[in-house]
Amino acid sequence: MKIAVAQTEIRQDDPAYNLQKAERWIAEAAFNQAELILFPETSFTGFSNHLQLQFAAAETIFQRMQTAAKQHRIHIGFGWTSAESDGRGKNHYTILTPDGESCLDYTKIHPFSYCQEDRFFQKGTQLAHATISGIPVSVLICYDLRFPEVFRIAARSAALIFVPANWLSRRSRHWQILLQARAIENQVYLLGVNCVGTQGDLQFVGGSQLVDPEGTVRLDCGSAEQLAYVTVDSDVAEFRQAFPTYRDSQTALYADLYQTVRNNH
């Protein structure tokens, strides 16, 4: 599968500007025969607690991404925010088919409490999976990367896991190491899609990259805004069979041990 990685500089709280740029990049990706284009977390509003703006933009974001998917016959992955009944939002990542239909919609399970995201956003409670060009995929978002348990579960069904993010420059080493660790320990492809530039007083690192099941970095986008391309093979099952560490995982036992520790404390 040929994937276009949109490492964008997101203009905070300016969906009109960000959508215009995204539509140009979608057209370019389709012209270059990509089957899927992926944008970072909160793709067109940025990492912001200005929820009313994000709520107001959601319908327009969806309509324009659906139109672009159908016009250019390409899958599109993008982040957006839904309005919830308690006044908070949900941090979504959705993938549309070339027919403009949603084939995957995931809500971030781990809001970033360090920046008070949990005050403004409800946490998700379910994983999401789809099959694109014959490859089973899943999505986890940004801060989720720090929690190996959820990747272990997602990898039961996925050979390729996308991690759209707004990951800060000052923790760029964590981003690189954790992407490699999650790929190696689960024997999957990990594709991290980050943004660059500044949003308010926050600086974002870029470093979007594809890591294969051996931990080899197949693509590294560096720190500049760019549209990059990478091809992912459907060889995870063969890799796991040849070197069966994922098969040997004692997942059920780990859950029992975890419960025992909780009960004893």
Segment 104-120 shows an average pLDDT of 93
pLDDT in tens, 204-251: 989 999 999 999 999 999 999 999 999 999 899 999 999 998 888 887
Segment 8-16 shows an average pLDDT of 96
pLDDT at 160: 98
Q: How far is CA 131 from CA 30, 88, 193, in A?
A: 19, 31, 19
Per DSSP, the residues of 204-265 read EE---EEE-TTS-EEEE-TTS-EEEEEE--S-HHHHHHHS-TTTT--HHHHHHHHHHHHHT-
217's enclosing H/E stretch is: strand 217-220
Q: Can you give the pTM of this predicted structure?
A: 0.94
Give percent above pLDDT 70 in the chain.
100
**42-51, 139-148, 209-218, 246-255: least confident range:** 246-255
Query: Which residue is it, tokens 């203009």?
Result: 11
Query: Which residue is it, tokens 């239909």?
Result: 101
Q: Is 102 exposed, middle or buried (0-12, 13-18, 19+ CB in 10 A)?
A: middle
Query: Is residue 245 in some structural domain?
Result: no
pLDDT at 115: 84
Per DSSP, the residues of 18-44 read HHHHHHHHHHHHHHTT-SEEE--TTTT
AA letter at 107: T
Please indicate whether residue 202 or residue 132 has the higher confidence score (pLDDT): 132
- Banded pLDDT at 263 (limits 50, 70, 90): confident
pLDDT in tens, 51-98: 999 999 999 999 999 999 999 999 999 999 999 999 999 999 999 999
Query: Is residue 48 in some structural domain?
Result: yes
pLDDT at 253 over 90: no
Q: How many domains does the chain have?
A: 1
Q: CATH no. for residue 51?
A: 3.60.110.10
pLDDT at 200: 87
Write out the two tokens for 21: 């740029």
Which one, of 227, 238, 231, lies nearest residue 1 by Cα? Answer: 231
Query: Is residue 90 in some structural domain?
Result: yes
Query: Is residue 186 in some structural domain?
Result: yes
Q: How far is CA 81 from CA 35, 57, 118, 122, 165, in A?
A: 25, 9, 14, 11, 14
- Banded pLDDT at 134 (limits 50, 70, 90): very high
pLDDT at 265: 64
Q: How far is CA 8 from CA 47, 154, 223, 225, 234, in A?
A: 13, 26, 10, 5, 27
pLDDT in tens, 180-209: 999 999 999 999 999 999 998 899 989 999
Domain that holds residue 185: 2-236
CA torsion, ordered 215, 219, 225, 229, to nearest 10 deg: -140
Query: Is residue 140 in some structural domain?
Result: yes
DSSP letter at 188 equals S
Query: Is residue 257 in some structural domain?
Result: no
